[in-house]
């Protein structure tokens, strides 16, 4: 009996301690830490997003109705009552803390509310649809430009490159001095307007309905070519110049001299010693750019009337559709915070020096 109690007494705190250890171990794990930080950033940013429009003292519903009323030239009687009923519909008549609680709960459920301008479509619906277009084009193109630019920079920064390469790459890099939207307009003028090879605007031909048929996919790709080139040509130089600088820096490192002294093959020194080390800051750059691609190309999307987030944001601002603007801003916050989180988690795999030890 006494032995049993003793055993229980001995074991119970140890179970408690071990559960505590597991919990603190999980919380202490750097991935979990980074994820909690990610949630914190999203919460903080969305709170700011919640507060700022309310500080302005503007009433989006009333403003919208006033605008419509002016346009229609209608009498303003009953406008206040109408505004009240809409405010009730959007929950804007509630006390501030209730609105905030609702906002945060909705956000946690990833429910971004209902659009004012495109009522009754939900913001989720609008943002998601345009996000597909943006991610599909901009995501692919950004990664492509990163790969091509980094490769070009790596070769340009390599002292044993063939001399003529200098004369091929360097003029290409000057394209990065031209703003993307301007390059876009030049491309539209040349290839769509003058030559008529490619469509002028849009994500697909106006008459077609989006589906998964082969001809529609070809249509989408044809529409994507010009905006893709506008972005690739103007951002290749950005990646190439950064990479070239890092490659030249790497040349001065002791391990590069030692790699030569080890009698390694040129190709191995290039890839495993020079590029591998020069790539590290590039990857940081890529993660940060990926976080901002959603908004980074507003002007390009505008120029090509591409149905992406940038285009929707532009329309939402013009129509003062606060809920869509807010939804897009939250998606941007999620994008940047998410990219930073991914970078934090993946970077240690690339650079062993910053690997956090869990001991």
Binding site for other proteins (CB under 8 A): 253-255, 257-265, 268, 272-273, 276-277, 280, 350-353
Instruction: State the nearest-atom distance from the C-beta of 270 to other proteins, in Å.
Output: 13
Instruction: State the nearest-atom distance from the C-beta of 255 to other proteins, in Å.
Output: 5
Instruction: State the nearest-atom distance from the C-beta of 155 to other proteins, in Å.
Output: 19
Return the number of the residue (243 or 331) whose C-beta is nearest other proteins.
243
Return the number of the residue (259 or 286) whose C-beta is nearest other proteins.
259
Quote the CA–CA distance of 274 and 290 in Å, as a whole number: 25
Q: What are phi and psi of 196, to 5 degrees?
A: 70, 25
Quote the CA–CA distance of 30 and 22 in Å, as a whole number: 14
Instruction: State the nearest-atom distance from the C-beta of 289 to other proteins, in Å.
Output: 22
Return the number of the residue (161 or 222) whose C-beta is nearest other proteins.
161
Instruction: State the nearest-atom distance from the C-beta of 273 to other proteins, in Å.
Output: 6
- Helix (H, G, I), strand (E, B), or coil: what is residue 114? strand
Return the number of the residue (150 or 180) whose C-beta is nearest other proteins.
150
Quote the CA–CA distance of 301 and 181 in Å, as a whole number: 9
Instruction: State the nearest-atom distance from the C-beta of 259 to other proteins, in Å.
Output: 7
CB burial readout 55-83, b (16+ within 10 A) else e = eeeebbbbebbeeeeeeeeeeeeeeeebb
- Helix (H, G, I), strand (E, B), or coil: what is residue 94? coil
Return the number of the residue (35 or 347) whose C-beta is nearest other proteins.
347
Q: How far is CA 95 from the centre of its chain?
A: 34
Return the number of the residue (281 or 338) whose C-beta is nearest other proteins.
281
Would you say the C-alpha torsion 331, 336, 337, 339 has a positive or negative sign? positive
Angle at 107 (CA atoms; ends 101, 111), nearest 5 degrees: 115
């Amino acid at each position: 009996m006494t032995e049993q109690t003793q055993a229980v007494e001995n074991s119970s705190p140890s179970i408690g301690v071990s559960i505590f250890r597991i919990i603190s171990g999980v919380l202490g794990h750097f991935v979990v830490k980074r994820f909690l930080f990610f949630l914190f950033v999203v919460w903080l940013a969305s709170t700011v997003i919640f507060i700022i429009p309310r500080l302005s003292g503007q009433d989006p519903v009333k403003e919208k109705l006033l605008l419509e009323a002016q346009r229609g030239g209608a009498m303003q009687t009953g406008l206040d009552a109408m505004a009240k009923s809409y405010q009730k519909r959007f929950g804007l008549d509630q006390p501030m803390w209730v609105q905030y609680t609702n906002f945060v709960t909705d956000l946690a459920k990833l429910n971004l509310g209902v659009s004012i301008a495109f009522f009754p479509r939900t913001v989720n619906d609008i943002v998601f649809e345009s996000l597909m277009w943006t991610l599909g084009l901009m995501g692919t193109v950004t990664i492509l430009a990163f790969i091509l630019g980094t490769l070009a920079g790596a070769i340009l920064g390599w002292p044993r490159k063939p001399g003529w390469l200098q004369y091929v790459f360097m003029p290409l890099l000057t394209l990065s001095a031209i703003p993307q939207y301007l390059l876009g307009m030049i491309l539209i003028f040349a290839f769509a307007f003058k030559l008529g090879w490619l469509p002028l605007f849009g994500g697909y031909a106006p008459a077609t309905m989006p589906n998964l048929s082969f001809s529609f996919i070809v249509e989408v790709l044809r529409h994507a070519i010009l905006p893709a080139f506008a972005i690739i040509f103007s951002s290749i130089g950005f990646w190439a110049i950064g990479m070239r600088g890092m490659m030249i820096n790497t040349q001065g490192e002791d391990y590069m001299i030692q790699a030569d002294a080890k009698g390694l093959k040129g190709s191995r020194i290039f890839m495993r010693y020079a590029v591998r080390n020069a790539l590290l800051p590039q990857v940081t750059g890529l993660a940060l750019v990926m976080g901002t691609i959603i908004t980074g190309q507003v002007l390009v999307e505008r120029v090509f009337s591409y149905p992406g987030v940038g285009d929707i944001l532009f329309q939402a601002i013009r129509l003062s559709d606060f809920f869509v603007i807010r939804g897009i801003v939250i998606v941007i916050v999620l994008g940047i915070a998410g990219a930073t989180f991914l970078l934090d988690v993946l970077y240690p795999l690339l650079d062993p020096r910053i690997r956090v030890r869990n001991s």
